[in-house]
Structure 1
Amino acid sequence: MKDTNILAIDLAKNVFQVCKRDPKGKVLFNRELSRAKLKEMLVKQPRSLVAMEACGSAQYWARLARALGHEVKVISARTVKPFQTKQKTDRNDALAIAIAASQEHIHGVRVQSAEEQALQSLERARHLAKTHQIAQSNQIRGLLGEFGIIVPPSLSQLRKHIPFILEDAENSLPQSFRETLNYLWQHLLQQIEHVAILERQLEGAVKYDTTCQKLMKLEGVGPIGALGLAVRLGQGENFTNGREASANIGLTPKQHSSGGKERIGHISKRHADKRLRSTLFQGALSVITQVSKRPARTSKERWLQALVERRGKKIAAVAFANKTVRTAYAILKNDTEYQPISLA
């Protein structure tokens, strides 16, 4: 859209900075707008390129602008940063977003539908509940260790030992700590039930999602991995090829090439979807564990066994996760089913 205006929005909760540039790069205005005024402006403005950073509420504003007929470009904050000059102010931030959006080689992140965002929110809630559950169980175990009582790791061991510890009158625990321990234990039981409810909701949502069911046929991809791939890749419309999709998740090595010499490094530690990458990596490790115990049944398993012997399990797991993302991209892009090639 070289012949259209750019509306760059520096997002916030109540006060938004909007910078409007014409196709020649001239700034037409750069001013603050309230939430109501911003919605009114998006309605009245002719079809434009609406750009914003990928941050809180960006998906909502992107869907709204697209519904009003605008083209939308949601850009990573790390990508916008080099275009920021002078001091950090709302005016300069909005101008930097406008300049970054005008660059053809800079791609935006995918805009999710409301249904996809609801599924992602459910997974985020489950992840946070699981984190709190682990933290609470570790605190109980650590506090008991200060009194010389060691409980083996795992929730099943806590369920087995805590009732006896609370009832044992000879373990020299002060009464005040027994009351504290009982409260922490009851709180942990509530957290366990909370996690179980969210996991049932997530499994039910994935069960009736046709895209997730397609992706779960891939080796090492469960409900969490399928949901992450479906939300991240969509129908593949935001990526040119499978390698680009894999690089977006952080499963391709970084390059530092110069003078015609290619230098391939490690996978990125910053520019990645770390949660999805970790899920795919763990799934790949489980596949490697299974394949290592029996003969290969498919051509992919034979390739994986050879790679494990040559490079080791961890590097093979990253390569397998990379192949999983590329295969998922092809499935979503071409609307096909996964069919592994069996060995004769």
Structure 2
Amino acid sequence: MYQDNLFALDLSKNSIQGALFDKSHQVRFNQEFSPKKLVDWLSRQQPLTVAMEACSTAHHWVRVVERLGHRSLLVPTRTANRYREGHKTNATDALAVGVAARQPTTRFVAPKTIEQQEMQSVERIREHLSSQLTATSNMMRSLFGEFGLAIPKGKKGFKRRVVELLEDAENDLPMCLRTELIGQWEYYLDLKERLEQVTRTQKRLVNQHETCRQLLQLESVGPVNALGLYLALGDLGSSFKNGREASACIGATPKQYSTGDTVTMGGISKTCANKRLRSNLIQGSRAVIKVVKKRDPRNQKEAWLKQLIGRRGEGRAAVALANKTIRVAWAMLHYGDEFKLHPNMA
């Protein structure tokens, strides 16, 4: 028996499927609502537990639900999919969310505040502009290459060579294509300017946020990684019980496959991970390794890192350092003023 009725939602843009489970886990109804009608219906109900899939608009609906006096739960998409039976429809998705929400092993997603969503959205815009900038430069390189006009590696060489090729009227570049490439070059410069502007905005937001400023104390953590760790770990590290659990969720711990007395540890997961954050942390760790391996260790952590590089190589050492960074970051957020970063850990 459960203390509250459970109302499971399958969210979409124009319609929302709602399935009401009673305290005995029986389905009372499973029907479609418009967003407006859903708010009206929830406002007339006694306190409910409202579960929904952690998908687009979910954090907005968490705020709406809690403002109306109900309790909210965000179910990971991967978890909800395990409990769907039959064809994939809005009705079966809502039932799957409800069943997943009442499983004792379900790990729920921590809702994000408006401030967190603002910072995350700025980072998504920065990533989008960066990928568009890279795609545009790669396309221009390939189009020039089709006419035997090579462009050297690197951004500086790209900028210098493109200007030279566009101004050279005696090369084999057709006039019609030259006009279009001039437009793409102007688009590239515009993207670059917008990316620099968004990057400055992101750095300002990170520097103004107290928690992100604390995370910047860690090696291999810059503004991007500080923001990523803050969003992943939540306020006070509340998304996880301990540092190892946080590191496992982000994907920086080995996979374990054990049976009986046999314990098998594999590599890091390729599927169950926050790949974007893990990649950035490993990249930051590689930058630290590049510096540390050229000098004598200055503290116990650097001595550990150099020994690990010698035993296991730079790749595994970078993952191990990222793992340690996540655990220390969780401790900093969870314990707050009680946690002091030891000089050997900096």
TM-score, normalised to structure 1, is 0.96
Letter paired with 2:14: N
Residue 89 of structure 1 corresponds to 89
Alignment match, 1:113:
113
Report the equivalent of 1:38. Answer: 38
CA distance in 1 between counterparts of 2:304 and 2:44 reads: 57
1:139 alignment counterpart: 139
Distance 2:281 2:225 in 1: 6
Q: Where in structure 2 are the equivalents of 1:185-264 lying within 5 Å?
A: 185-234=185-234, 235-264=236-265
Deviation (angstroms), 1:321 = 0.4
SS of residue matched to 1:60? helix
Residue aligning to 1:51: 51
Q: CA deviation at 1:261?
A: 1.2
What is the CA–CA distance in structure 2 between the aligned matches of 1:187 and 1:240, rounded to whole Å? 47
Q: Pick from 320, 341, 344: which aligns with 1:339?
A: 341
Cα distance, 1:340 vs structure 2 = 3.4
Question: TM-score with structure 2 length normalisation?
Answer: 0.96
Give the Å deviation of 1:183: 1.0
Note the residue ranges of structure 2 that are not aligned, 5 or more in a row.
none
**Residue deviations 1:177-225, cap 9 Å, x none?**
2112211111111111111111011111111111111001101000000
Tell me the equivalent position of 1:269. 270
Q: Report the Cα distance in structure 1 between the residues aligned to 2:121 and 2:4, rounded to whole angstroms.
A: 34
Q: Residues of 2 paired with 1:86 and 1:167: CA distance?
A: 62
Distance 1:293 1:338, change over 3 A: farther
Alpha-carbon contact 1:151-1:161 (below 8 Å) kept: yes
Counterparts of 1:144-159 in structure 2 under 5 Å? 144-159=144-159
Is the 8 Å Cα contact of residues 152 and 161 (structure 2) preserved in structure 1? no
Q: What is the CA–CA distance in structure 2 between the aligned matches of 1:45 and 1:260, rounded to whole Å? A: 52
Q: Distance in 2 between matches of 1:163 and 1:88?
A: 53
* Structure 1 SS opposite 2:258: coil
Letter in 2 for 1:69: G
Separation of aligned partners in 1, 2:168 and 2:332: 58
> In the alignment, is the contact (CA less than 8 A) between 1:255 and 1:263 conserved in 2?
yes
Which letter maps to 1:177?
L
Q: Is the 8 A contact 2:9 2:50 kept in 1?
A: yes
Structure 1 distance, partners of 2:41, 2:331, is: 39
Task: Give 1:166's aligned residue.
Answer: 166
**1:338 Cα offset (Å):** 5.3
CA distance in 2, matches of 1:135, 1:122: 20
Q: Any idea what the Cα deviations from partners look like across 1:11-65, whole Å, max 9, x if unmatched?
A: 0111111011112111111111110011122222222211111111111111221
Secondary structure at the counterpart of residue 203 of structure 2: helix
1:259-297 Cα offsets, whole Å, 9 max, x none, are 231111111111111110111010000011111011111
Q: Which amino acid aligns with 1:289?
A: K
Aligned partners of 2:257 and 2:264 also within 8 Å:
yes
**Matches of 1:291 and 1:114 in 2, distance apart?**
39
Percent identical among aligned pairs is 42
